[in-house]
Chain A
Amino acid sequence: MRQLFSTCLILLASISLVACVQTIPKEALQLTKESFKLRQLQTRSFDTSSEKKLLIAGAGVLQDLGYNIDESETKLGVIVGSKNRDATEAGQVAAMILVAALGGGNMPIDKHQKIRASLITHPAGKKTTKLRVTFQRIVWNTQNQVSKTQSIEDPQIYQEFFDKLSKAVFLEANEI
């Protein structure tokens, strides 16, 4: 009897601690070695003194990639864009079919996602302007619950973005 009570107490005490309280992780606003690696990955410098031209080229690339521009502030070198896309993955669909076949019911799988990008320019010296782009995404599943919230840190994605941007800046410079 006594044991039952104490179990009950511990259970309720832990519930009372969890109830309605969420705390921010300690490293959320901490700079790490990783932060500087990411900065390198996400930044390129361009041989132009015109932030505006670089921003225009950047907005063009975002549009080429299907992003809509949500916000911009030329005086601070800021462009923000986003796009909503399908998030279905073949692996998850296969798993869902398998689970259903084994009688596990309807397993939620990723359905759609919102991808956001912010593109920031800043002058670096007289003839150079730096541009840093960052991507993140939110994924919803078939039950409309958020299943993933993440920063995109894949080097290949950034490389691809800057390849496109370099071309756009080149075309801009040559006014083709």
Chain B
Amino acid sequence: MKKYALLPVVFANIALTGCQTTSMNQVMETSESQVAIRQIQTRAFDTTSSTKTLRTIIATLQDLGFVIDKADDELGTVSGTKLNGYSLRMTVTVRPRGKKQTLVRANATYNVTPVEDPQPYQQFFTALQKAMFLTAHEVD
């Protein structure tokens, strides 16, 4: 019986480790390894036009139900928010890779949690490559 008495304490401990001790740690917080995250969030497209890529990203975000927050052609960034009982914020950046390719990196935040699951990013790039009429290549 005594054995069981400890178990609730253990679970309570687990429950609390799910939470943070100091919320200021969030400023520089990452959980997955930097490299793994970058790989999940990045694809290369065989195009050199960053403006065209940005315009297609904006159209794709709209297709997915986002309202655009900001866009900057010179910096190559677009941000948007989707509200659907939750708030999903996405920032997508574009930069040239070599002479023939463009890198697209997306990162998403679901309410107050960074999205680190590969699947939603895969879905985003699937939608984007359809709109680009180009294949999204994985990048090492």
Contact with B along A125-145 (1 / 0, CB 8 A): 000000010111110000000
Which B residues, 86 to 140, have Cβ-Cβ distances below 8 Å to chain A?
86-88, 108, 110-113, 115, 117, 119-121, 123-124, 126-127, 130
Residue of A with least CB distance to B87: A149
Query: A71 contacts B110, CB within 8 Å?
Result: no
A120 to B70, CA, bound (A): 11
Residue A122 CB within 8 A of the other chain: yes
Residue of A with least CB distance to B63: A35
Q: A12-B12, A25-B86, A149-B87 known; A20 and B71 CB under 8 Å?
A: no
A73 to B55, CA, bound (A): 11
Query: A80 contacts B69, CB within 8 Å?
Result: yes
A19 to B17, CA, bound (A): 9
Residue B36 CB within 8 A of the other chain: no
Query: B20 contacts A20, CB within 8 Å?
Result: yes
- Tell me the dominant secondary structure on chain B's binding face: mixed
Query: A24 contacts B120, CB within 8 Å?
Result: yes
Q: A76-B51, A78-B58, A120-B59 known; A136 and B14 CB under 8 Å?
A: no
A170 to B38, CA, bound (A): 48
Residue of A with least CB distance to B13: A16
Count residues of B near A (Cβ-Cβ below 8 Å).
56
Residue A99 CB within 8 A of the other chain: no
Residues in A whose Cβ lies below 8 Å from that of B111: 22
Query: A5 contacts B62, CB within 8 Å?
Result: no
Smallest Cβ distance from B87 to chain A, in angstroms? 6
Residues in B whose Cβ lies below 8 Å from that of A20: 18-20
Residue numbers of A with Cβ under 8 A of B are: 1-2, 5, 8-9, 12-13, 15-16, 19-26, 28-31, 35-36, 38-39, 42, 70-71, 73, 75-78, 80, 116-118, 120, 122, 132, 134-138, 149-151
Can you name 23 A-B pairs with beta carbons within 8 Å?
A12-B11, A12-B15, A15-B15, A16-B11, A21-B113, A24-B120, A28-B64, A29-B120, A35-B63, A39-B62, A42-B62, A73-B73, A76-B73, A78-B68, A80-B68, A116-B81, A118-B67, A120-B62, A134-B66, A136-B81, A136-B82, A137-B83, A151-B84
Residue numbers of B with Cβ under 8 A of A are: 1, 4-5, 7-8, 11-12, 14-16, 18-20, 51, 54-55, 58-59, 62-74, 78, 80-88, 108, 110-113, 115, 117, 119-121, 123-124, 126-127, 130
